[in-house]
Amino acid sequence: ASPFTFRKLAGCTLFITGASRGIGKAIALKAAKDGANIVIAAKTAEPHPTLPGTIYTAAAEIEAAGGKALPCIVNVREEQQIINAVEKAVKTFGGIDILVNNASAISLTGTLETETKKVNLMMDVNVRGTYLTSKTCLPHLRKSRNPHILNLSPPMNMNPMWFKNHCAYTISKYGMSMCVLGMAEEFRGEVAVNALWPKTAIHTAAMDMLGGSGIEKQCRKTDILADAAYCILTKPKSFTGNFIIDEVLLREEGVKDFDVYAIAPGHPLIPDFFLDAFKEEKKLSQHEGADGAKASTESASAKPRSPVAETFRVIQGAMSEEYVRTTQGVFQFELSGEEGGTWYIDLKTKGGSAGFGKPPVTADVVMSMSSADFVKMFTGE
């Protein structure tokens, strides 16, 4: 069979915001290998002092990978720039088949620490930019045979933990997810609208700025999102209204080796924002006892817990054999202040465990700190 038989996105036109670097560019390059047309709708026309790449360097990479590139200067805060780029794309390639809303702004700051201009930036880029780009592309998408909108946004997890440390950012990302919820239903049968989010931190220039040096070892490459996006965008338009986690989808598609996506294979990975063990806990709370009676885990979890105990409950809920296999460490915490005493996390024995008291085996690391600092450390503060 000709290799071209399997080029599912050959001849398709993808309009990707924020495609000059990072995740947007990775998705663009994956589609370019099929011979797709890529509209690079991004701000960076001149080299940035600290960030790699421009719309023109991205265009050269896309052409080298086998695609056709149309670099367009687009700040998604400016509606006219979006309109101009969409018109140019339709004129150049004859239409638009896929929109990827990837452009995003982030500030992981509390309510009192977030300047108004940062609030405006996140709301304008993440929510308004996604909404307006979708609105502008939709008349053209409706004419395509298999149109898709894909937003890089999370499932809407209403655990207050994801709001308390960076309320404005969370509102803005959930705004993108609400666009998926609404538009998937509004255009059902005409245009597929889905969300994609990584299970772990992804190594990008933004991650380097947020996490500092050495953070990349705890991240995966952008390739995992590119592969997951490709799976979604090659599905029929009836596949719509889904909030997809990259690893979950790729496992369903038969991928078994996830080390290929790791920057440092075998190194523990940082779980991404907005994902926690609440779904697994829900299943556990409906566990039936041997006599057929429902176990009383629900009533127990209904009691308010202290911050340290609640943190350990979440850690215990997130335990997995994979974490144990990749970490192979036992951590002991000597906490002072409220809820002081000895606590532990065992990521070495069997399926792992965590809780109050000394660990079942000798600790590899002993950390002494205040209870307040412990809670801050494990909630990302």
pLDDT tens digits, residue range 6-18?
789 999 999 999 9
Domain boundaries, the chain: 13-261, 307-379
Q: Lowest mean pLDDT of 135-144, 199-208, 281-290, 350-359, name the range.
A: 281-290
CB 28, CB 64: distance < 8 Å: no
Over residues 150-154, the mean pLDDT reads 98
Over residues 258-284, the mean pLDDT reads 75
160: CB partners within 8 A, 6+ apart: none
Q: Which residue has the tokens 């500092």?
A: 212
Q: Quick one: how many helices (H) and strands (E) in the chain?
A: 15, 11
Angstrom distance (rounded) from CA 377 to CA 90: 49
Full-model pTM: 0.74
Angstrom distance (rounded) from CA 160 to CA 170: 10
Angle between helix 278-285 and helix 307-318 axes, rounded to 10 deg: 90
136 token code pair: 């502008």
Over residues 301-330, the mean pLDDT reads 74
Q: Is the pLDDT of residue 1 over 50?
A: no
3-state secondary structure of 356: strand
**pLDDT-based confidence at residue 244 (cuts at 50, 70, 90):** very high
3-state secondary structure of 235: coil
Closest to 153 measured CA to CA, from 121, 117, 126: 126
End-to-end CA distance of the chain: 54
User: Which of 169, 174, 230, 261 is flagged as catalytic?
Assistant: 169
Angstrom distance (rounded) from CA 137 to CA 86: 7
Instruction: Classify residue 276 as exposed, middle or buried by CB count within 10 Å of its CB (0-12, 13-18, 19+).
Output: middle
Fold of 13-261: Rossmann fold (3.40.50)
**Whole-number pLDDT of residue 189:** 98
**pLDDT-based confidence at residue 307 (cuts at 50, 70, 90):** confident
**Whole-number pLDDT of residue 332:** 92
Burial code of 218-241, b = ≥16 C-beta within 10 A, e = fewer?
Answer: bbbbbebbbbbbbbbbbbebebbe
pLDDT tens digits, residue range 343-371?
899 988 888 888 888 888 899 999 998 98
Angstrom distance (rounded) from CA 272 to CA 274: 7
E strands in the chain: 13-17, 37-42, 68-73, 98-101, 148-151, 192-197, 243-245, 329-336, 341-347, 353-356, 365-370
Q: Is the pLDDT of residue 379 over 80?
A: no
Does the 307-379 domain belong in CATH 3.40.50.620? no
Angstrom distance (rounded) from CA 30 to CA 300: 48
**pLDDT-based confidence at residue 321 (cuts at 50, 70, 90):** confident
Q: Is the pLDDT of residue 183 over 70?
A: yes
Q: Between these two residues, 323 and 223, which has the higher pLDDT value?
A: 223
169 a catalytic residue: yes
